[in-house]
Structure 1
Amino acid sequence: MPHVRLSRPLCLLALLVPCLAVAQPPVAKVEPVVDDYYGTRVTDPYRWMESGKDPEWLPWLKAQGAHTQTVFAALPGRASLLADVAARSGELSSVGRSELAGGRVFHEIRAAGEQDTKLMVREADGTVRVLLDPTQLQGDGEQVLDTWSAAPDGMHVLVALSKRGTEHSTLRVLEVAGATLLPAAIPHAMAMGWTTDGRAFSYLKFVGEPGTPGYFVGNEPRLHRVGADAADMVLARRGEGGIEAAPTQFLPVLFDPGSDTALAFVRDGRSEMAMYRADADTAMTGQAQWTRFAGFDDLVVDAALHGDRMFLLSKQGASGGRVLETSATAPDLARARALSLPGDPVIESFLPTRTGLLVRTLEGAVSGLWRIADGQAPERIALPFDGQVSWLRGDTHADHVLVAMTGWFTPLTVYRLDLDSGRMEDLTLVPPPPFDIAGYEARRSVATARDGVQVPYTLVMKQGATPDASTPVLLEAYGSYGYPASPRFNARLLAFLDRGGVYAVANVRGGGEFGRDWHYAGKAGTKANTWRDAIDVAETLVAGKVGSPATLTLLGTSAGGVMLGGAINERPDLFSGAIANVGFMNPIRYVSEQNYADIEEWGGPITDEASFRTMYDLDPYQHIREGVDYPATLVVSGLNDPRAATFHSAKYAARLAAATASDEPVLLRIDFEAGHGMGSSRSQLDEVWTDIYAFALWQGGLQAFQPPVSATP
């Protein structure tokens, strides 16, 4: 029997606070476009939003954004919540990507009180200095650091910079000694990696028009020599030198500082890839004859080189993956040696080192780290705490590597792992949090899905809390691309927990928690499992009196938008609120946006009736139903979003607002200076997450939205 959900209109429980006198934003105009997909006629009432050029587009977005700001500004307690969120994020110094090169430790830091990330270097004598502060650069809008990579000798750093939110990177080379940028600038490119001598790097050049479906089409792998005047060389071409790749596929070429082999990859939205090899010296001339040694059917998802040894991560015959070792000069998958680990855990990545192969695994809710040395049994490396190993960094000759870890209540911490002793030392690249993180806990449990599958979930809350049916619960699920929802620290979340909220994370199918089988059980034609798992976890919470349909808000971010939309289309009565955060809401219209490359995850390009039906069936926008009592919904987007174009959010919000029969609000929150979240400033992130938490608390009951009696900001 469906649950009965109490209505909570915009008046916000009029007995407690006055009804919000907020003028309603303009209704979006309707200009239906009908497409015929293999005999199925599909109506799209808001197609005009896709071009971004309609004269009503920006005025409508601005009116929607202003309306949403007015609503949130009037929420009792929102200002206090923002103050707490900003205090925690502002006081925290956070570290990101880090590398060892040339005896130096390169690392990116957002220091306490600052808005953006800087690139730093710690010299061998322990002195630390700023290498690059993007906020000091001149350019078209605010510049942010997208990514970077240090040359093997530590003399240069390749940096990717972009206008905030766009992710349209321009590559620059930073000379480390003087902390100066060299003159060369390569726009619209993606950095790949350095050559052995550290004097050149490979990159992918995007030749299409930014923001259009053609942006990535025909991308070219090129080589740039530092300081050279000659034009950059194309390293591989489709249809030449043995390479088979479609214009819509990515074709990166990578060099490894410790190997004479170059690798070319053919990639699209699948985790798997096709792989080619060539001699590195020949590849750098642009005249290589490439030899394919792995196709998409071989299910290879990762590769690394160590001299003439090649290590591959294959999902062939092993859902969790297995490591294969073969020759880099003459790779042969049929004769490759398989390296096994006790218990066959899910293998996430590996790193060749001087003493053996380091393997990062996922074992239940936490990570494991193993070393496999030649002729020896695998050895487990003791980790400082139970949590997530986020990444490994190092080269094949060093005595140390870097290991980054995080947990629900532990910020990302970078350790130096001594390969001989196995000891891990905290590099203390940033100070510890200046606020209490000991008063919280995470509880792991399992829900039984409707088909009998066990779906894990985690509850994060105040230490010793006793949730009940009146507790505001924010349930998040993702379930795409095989990415696991692992423990991760979020200082902003503490303000939500302090107000009595419970944060729940469901490890739904489509993620990578249990390997390839778990991913493919929630991908394309099986995508309904993703949102049904989220529904079944929600039902389990309600049955256990952890929240109720009157207090439960569902959150889906990015690809999680498909989960979110599917769940509330199927069970609108189960949720008090729904948040589509930079969501992918209208998959069948992938043809109108830049980020077409991920479409394999959703069923592949629409080329026949079967591929259309697969993608149509999981399209949230197209399955909104007229006259349904939908829950209150917050739709979040950034105007510069290159991953889930703004039209996804705008069309979804417009159609949901027109269709719902409930009195619940549909709010469209637009940040006109942001994108998908990458490159957003600290204050931008403070504002958006405050609104997400405020919305969940609002929909969870007004009394829970008041400032905490005793919270330590």
Structure 2
Amino acid sequence: MKPTQSFTAVTLAAVLLAASAAAHAADAPPVAPVRPVTDTYFGTPVVDNYRYMENLKDPEVQSWMKAQADYTRKVLDAIPGLAALAQRIDALTGNDLHRGDFRRRGERIFYQVREPGANLPKLAYRDGVNGEEHILVDPAKLAKDSAHHSALDWYSPSWDGRYVAYGISEGGSENSVLHVIDTQSGSDTAEVIDRAGDDVVSWRNDNRSFFYLRYPKPGPDTPLAKSKYNAVTYLHVLGQNPNGEGDEAVFGRGVSAKLEVAEGQATYVLLSPDSPYAVAVVNHNMDDNPNIFYVARLDQIHGADTPWQKFAETADGVTDVHLHGDRLYLLSEKGASRFQILSLPAAHPDLAHADVVVPEGPNVIDAFVLANDAMYVGERAGASFQLKRVSFDGKESQDIALPFGGTVASLTTDPREPGVMFNLQGWVKAPREFTYDPKSNAATDTGLIPPAKSESADVEAHDEFAISYDGTRIPVSIIAQKGVKRDGSHPTVVFGYGSYGVSIDPAYRPAWQAWLAQGGIIAVSHMRGGGEYGDAWHRAGQKLWKINTLLDFNASAQYMIDQHYTQSKYLAANSASAGGFVMGGAMEINPGLFRVVMDDVGLSDALRFETEPNGPPNVPEMGSSSDEAGFHALYGMSAYTHIHDGTPYPAIIFTTGANDPRVSSWHMLKMAARMQAATSSGRPVLLRIDYDAGHGFGSSVSQYANLLADEWAFALWQMGEPGFQPKH
């Protein structure tokens, strides 16, 4: 068709308009249309200007995301010190040999290993501590192309060590597909079972069958909020039903008309090779908070007819259960804020008559495991840890001497063998893997984790205490170069989390040295909502009390100023996931307190969280907008709800992974759009999107290094550090 004059004119006008928009995009992020939606909760109207962004499949939303990501990339790439900082972080995180996530099966030890220079960990095993290392699964070889990566999500070896069930997912999605590898042949079996995310695989003693959880297959009418919910436990036999279809369901909601199972994210079964019983768990959020527990004899598990007997409701405060012979051992917080360990017979499990084998003490019981000789109990006393060996009846207890002070974690036993393996590390001490032998009564270094080249004698850590608004003392861990001067000159990142009773324990993060090398300081706030002081500390930062978490964090930041470590103009806030509430408080309670806020995969629009796949499982922690008390709790903690136009907010970088299964990326999209429209400070508000990532689980070394480099270069630019100022 020959174009008419008017067509040509319109086309030329469109080209000029596009060119103008492109020129504008170079100087400012793309503006999102405002389309208000008003919801009224118990008489309170709440306006949402960007509700339409929750449809991530909308081409308009996808186009805006891409434009935001491109703009952010251009801004960050213009920072002079970025490339060198990324290289330094990559070297610090990638040049050491890492091993972890150990499992014992007799003399055979399974683990994940990442060699120097490798981007992802591999699954490996060896026979004995000094045995030859055998690589079983290398996720790097499973990627479909260079733009996407696969990751190992979880693994579970059979009791004889021959077979290993493992989960693989793509792009940080955590949508695991279950496979099984035969260590004798080094090849996978025929098993390929999808919808196996979050899996807990429990092998039976025949070493040819296992229980596993599987999420229901969503249909066209399945709401997002129910798309990853009510996972059912199945029994699988190797070689039968290789795709899982036809496997017999043994536990879960809707499995048996005779048994009413509560709603929750998933159910699973726990076994021990020395016990004739099985424990079934209804875990509302796949976490370590109180759940619902059942028990049955293994030889009586027959699909829907299994006679499961409930022995603990959520209100009973049981957070963990282990089997030993014909007895159950329980970790309980009911009536014991710092936890206690109970024991009762599996045949007649009556909690009211349970034996208290480890009573609540001055320390918080962090974890416990069972070997064939005793229980091994990890305890937290503030920032220090202890490891104890306790007899099964609780009458004998001894402290295990630790080679150095630090975090005791990842207690690992084979229930058929004596002793325990454990990880020990600190803020400035790289992790080492130790084994305790009850015969020698000594913990020795296995050598499985070699000394880290990145350890520096020039870095030190110590704890101080900030005072929150109500007089509560908040521990603050301070990591800095030795002899740091309190002259107010130091770029400082304050990090905190404060949800689910999760403690931010001392852990070695070599990448932090790149920040410290800039004269910087890392401060970790141990706010209420975490588990540092037990269940009461957790509950004091939950639901209607969530404001305590936010104010504790800001008090920790103010403390760093008051003690002359830094000033507001050098101060940055950082958190992730449920820490998005904390970042909301950092931005909004006192917008002048921080110069920079770095909000990673942040849960921000609390009132809309229930509409996404991971929302319903989080109701016990956060509350529900369907009841008035829950609404007020969610409204109070919602960062998105409390952004106000014309406020001089700090410089902000929001980061998200396009495949995030835990906190949908629309949280960060909506926050960026709203904050860009509202701020009057003139400071940048950026949205960084990784299209090959999710919530951070399964991300590669290079992804982690690049994220840190982007955020820290952005922060140092905004703090005025000379080597990070773009040329204009």
Say yes or no: TM over 0.5. yes
The match for 2:185 among 174, 178, 190 is 178
Quote the residue 1:146 is aligned against.
Answer: 153
The correspondence for 1:66, drawn from 70, 73, 86, is: 70
Q: 1:392 aligns with which of 382, 401, 411?
A: 411
Displacement after TM superposition at 1:258 (Å): 1.9
What SS is found at the alignment partner of 2:200?
strand
Once the two structures are superposed, residues 41-70 of structure 1 have per-residue CA deviations (whole angstroms, 9 ceiling, x without a partner) of 211111111111221112211111121122
Provide the secondary structure at the position in 1 that maps to 2:568.
coil
How far off its partner does 1:209 sit? 3.4
C-alpha contact (below 8 Å) 2:273/2:416 kept by paired residues: no
Percent sequence identity over aligned pairs: 36
Question: Could you list the per-position Cα deviations for residues 464-511 of structure 1 after superposition, in whole angstroms to 9, with x for gaps in the alignment?
Answer: 221432211000010000000100111111111111110000000000
Q: Report the Cα distance in structure 1 between the residues aligned to 2:303 and 2:610, rounded to whole angstroms.
A: 36
Quote the offset at 1:396 in angstroms: 1.9
Note if contact 2:172-2:659 (Cα within 8 Å) is conserved in structure 1. Answer: yes
Q: Distance in 1 between matches of 2:655 and 2:118?
A: 24
Between 1:588-597 and 1:219-228, the stretch displaced more is 588-597
Whether 2:537 is the aligned partner of 1:518: answer yes
Out of 104, 108, 112, the position equivalent to 1:108 is 112
For 1:364-513, what aligned pairs fall within 5 Å after superposition? 364-373=382-391, 374=393, 376-513=395-532
- Residue in 1 that maps onto 2:27: 23
Residue 98 of structure 1 pairs with residue 93 of structure 2: no
**Matched-pair contact (CA < 8 Å) for 1:471–1:700:** no
Greater mean deviation of Cα atoms: 593-602 or 555-564: 593-602
Deviates more, 1:55-64 or 1:129-138: 129-138
Specify whether residues 469 and 475 from structure 1 end up closer, same or farther in structure 2 by C-alpha distance, changes over 3 A only.
same
Counterpart amino acid of residue 528 in structure 1: I
After superposition, give the CA deviation of every residue in 1:531-559 in whole Å (9 maximum; x if it has no partner).
10011111111111111111111111111
Residue 500 of structure 1 contacts residue 704 of structure 1 at CA under 8 Å; is this kept in 2? no
Q: Which residue of 2 aligns with 1:266?
A: 282
Q: How does 1:156-555 map to 2 (within 5 A)?
A: 156-189=163-196, 190-209=199-218, 212-229=224-241, 231-238=246-253, 240=256, 243-269=259-285, 271-340=289-358, 343-373=361-391, 374=393, 376-555=395-574
Q: Which residue is equivalent to 1:673?
A: 692
Specify the SS of the correspondent of 1:136.
Answer: helix
Aligned length: 687
Q: Distance in 2 between matches of 1:110 and 1:143?
A: 15
Q: Name 2:124's counterpart in structure 1.
A: 120
- From 97, 118, 132, the equivalent of 2:137 is 132
* 228-237 or 436-445, larger mean C-alpha shift: 228-237
How many Å separate the matches in 2 of 1:233 and 1:393? 30
- C-alpha distance in structure 2 between counterparts of 1:596 and 1:519, whole Å: 20
Q: Given that residues 64 and 668 in structure 1 are in contact (C-alpha distance below 8 angstroms), is that contact kept between their aligned partners in structure 2? A: yes
Query: Structure 1: how far apart are the matches of 2:302 and 2:700?
Result: 39
> Residue 205 of structure 1 contacts residue 222 of structure 1 at CA under 8 Å; is this kept in 2?
yes
The residue matched to 2:396 in structure 1 has which SS? coil
Is 1:34 the counterpart of 2:38? The answer is yes
Partner of residue 46, structure 1: 50
User: Partner of 2:124: helix, strand, or coil?
Assistant: strand
Deviations 1:353-386 (A, max 9, x none): 1221101111110221111114643211111211
Amino acid at match of 1:183: A
Which amino acid in the other structure matches residue 46 of structure 1?
A: Y
Partner of 2:516, secondary structure, is helix
Distance 2:454 2:267 in 1: 46
Please give the alpha-carbon distance, in whole angstroms, between the structure 2 residues aligned to 1:164 and 1:595.
18
After the TM superposition, which of the residue ranges 410-419 and 90-99 deviates more from structure 2?
410-419
Q: What is the Cα deviation at residue 284 of structure 1?
A: 5.0
CA distance in 2 between counterparts of 1:597 and 1:226 reads: 34
CA spacing shift, 1:588–1:540, aligned 2, 3 Å:
same
CA–CA separation in structure 2 for the residues paired with 1:417 and 1:691: 42
- Distance in 2, Cα, partners of 1:279 & 1:186: 27
CA distance in structure 2 between the aligned counterparts of 1:369 and 1:435, rounded to whole angstroms:
27
**Secondary structure, in 3 states, of the residue corresponding to 1:257?**
coil
User: What CA distance in whole angstroms lies between the structure 2 residues aligned with 1:201 and 1:467?
Assistant: 58
Unaligned stretches of 5+ residues in structure 2? 1-23
In structure 1, the residue corresponding to 2:592 is in which secondary structure?
Answer: helix
For residues 293 and 479 of structure 2, what CA distance do their matches in structure 1 show?
A: 41
Q: Please tell me whether the aligned partners of residues 585 and 620 of structure 1 are also in contact (alpha carbons under 8 angstroms).
A: yes
- Return the alpha-carbon distance in structure 1 between the equivalents of residues 416 and 252 of structure 2: 33
Q: RMSD of the alignment, in Å? A: 2.1
Q: Which amino acid letter does the alignment assign opposite residue 517 of structure 2?
A: D
Give the partner amino acid of 2:282. V
Aligned residue type for 1:225: V
Structure 1 stretch displaced more, 91-100 or 370-379: 370-379
Q: Is the 8 A contact 2:340 2:360 kept in 1?
A: no
Q: Please give the alpha-carbon distance, in whole angstroms, between the structure 1 residues aligned to 2:684 and 2:474.
A: 31
Unmatched 5+ stretches in structure 1: 1-19, 707-713
The one-letter amino acid paired with 2:403 is P
SS at match of 1:527: helix
Shift of 1:616: 1.4
The answer on whether the counterparts of 2:600 and 2:656 sit within 8 Å (CA) in structure 1 is: yes
Kept in 1, the 8 Å contact 2:407–2:506? The answer is: yes
Q: What amino acid sits opposite 1:235 in the alignment? A: V
Indicate conservation of the 8 Å contact 1:106/1:121, yes or no.
yes
TM-superposed deviation, 1:203:
1.4
User: Match of 2:414, SS?
Assistant: coil
Q: Partner residue of 1:15?
A: none
- The range that moved more, 268-277 or 82-91, is 268-277
Structure 1 distance, partners of 2:523, 2:94, is 25
- Partner Cα separation in structure 1 for residue 62 and residue 597 of structure 2: 25
Q: Contact 1:477/1:508 (CA < 8 Å) preserved in 2?
A: yes
Q: 2:89 aligns with which of 58, 66, 85?
A: 85
Distance in 1, matches of 2:632 and 2:596, equals 29
Residues 246 and 375 from structure 1, CA distance in 2 versus in 1: closer, same or farther, beyond 3 angstroms?
closer
Deviation per residue, 1:84-132 (Å, 9 max, x gap) = 1111122122122111114211110111001111011112471111111
Contact 1:302 1:312 in 2 (8 A): yes
TM-score by length of structure 2 reads: 0.91
Give the Cα separation in 2 of the matches to 1:619 and 1:449: 21
**Whole-Å separation in 2 of the counterparts to 1:237 and 1:560:** 31
* Distance in 1 separating the partners of 2:304 and 2:155: 25
How far 1:704 sits from its partner (Å)?
A: 7.3
Cα distance in 2, alignment partners of residues 626 and 520 from structure 1: 33
1:583 to 602, 606, 610: 602
Higher relative contact order (CA 8 A, sep 6+): 1
Kept in 2, the 8 Å contact 1:641–1:675? The answer is yes
CA contact (8 A) 1:241 1:289 kept: no
Task: Return the offset for 1:338.
Answer: 1.0
For 1:679 and 1:237, the matched residues in 2 are separated by 28
